[in-house]
Structure 1
């Protein structure tokens, strides 16, 4: 299976999202490269970062009344649960589980980023939402869409 690498194809041209995604790809690569002795720690780092970026995206979706927020957030919850199960397996010595998950996670992430996250980025632009400040410059557009 081909490992995920950051490329322009993954960029959503929104630094608040792209920076977190780029770091996700870096941490996933560190998990791929990890020795058996450090694999669980690298997976834990990836899980912590992933939970942080998902929580942030969920907050943005809620703040801007993103119509697909339930589907998007549910996918976040499922992926985090699977990653936690991988961590538990790794902590009990089943390192192969994490290594398999790492390969599958890259493929999932590319698809998720290019579909669901791309739609979120477009929505944030359309509503004038600034993820850095939390300021919504076109709140009427949200009210009209509701």
Structure 2
């Protein structure tokens, strides 16, 4: 059984991010397949966690270069997800409780499409608007120090 299907809805037309997202989905599915097979899924989980850490660090770097405020809801979601993933790993390794891994599989499969379609799509839009090239790390338009509230979500209120 596939945990999360890769669909055109997840494509953001930003090649580096689309590749990274496709890898995330593949690793989530490998982790899910290990759980379904009843084998030790920790190796697959470690791969998923390492990828997710690098994936989010890449996006965080892009946000910083594009002028997102350091404390924004996109970054907050990343931090929350990584905290939960690390806590599930702690339960699995230190307490020998694998149930959080099963729960997390379902939660990540539900969370990721919404995050990609809203938060990551807003990041890609900002990158396009500012002429950011992820390969060079340069913006066509310089980012002002006080660029306002630009967190990647229309649901945040400006302070």
Provide the TM-score with structure 1 as the length reference.
0.90
Among candidates 115, 119, 122, match of residue 122 of structure 2: 119
- Bigger mean CA deviation after superposition, 64-73 or 126-135: 64-73
- Bigger mean CA deviation after superposition, 58-67 or 31-40: 31-40
Cα offset, 1:97, TM superposition: 1.5
Name 1:53's counterpart in structure 2: 55
Cα offset, 1:90, TM superposition: 1.6
Do the aligned partners of 1:60 and 1:131 also contact (CA within 8 Å) in 2?
yes
Q: How many residue pairs end up in the alignment?
A: 143
Cα offset, 1:3, TM superposition: 2.8
Q: Which protein has the bigger helix share?
A: 1
Name 2:102's counterpart in structure 1: 99
Structure 2 spans left out of the alignment, 5+ residues: 148-159
Do the aligned partners of 1:36 and 1:95 also contact (CA within 8 Å) in 2?
no
- Bigger mean CA deviation after superposition, 35-44 or 82-91: 35-44
Give per-residue Cα distances to partners, 1:51-89, cap 9 Å, x unaligned. Answer: 101011011101110258611111100100000011111
Name 1:143's counterpart in structure 2: 144
RMSD between aligned residues? 1.9
Cα offset, 1:38, TM superposition: 3.1
**Corresponding residue SS for 2:3:** coil
Provide the TM-score with structure 2 as the length reference.
0.83
**Corresponding residue SS for 1:52:** helix
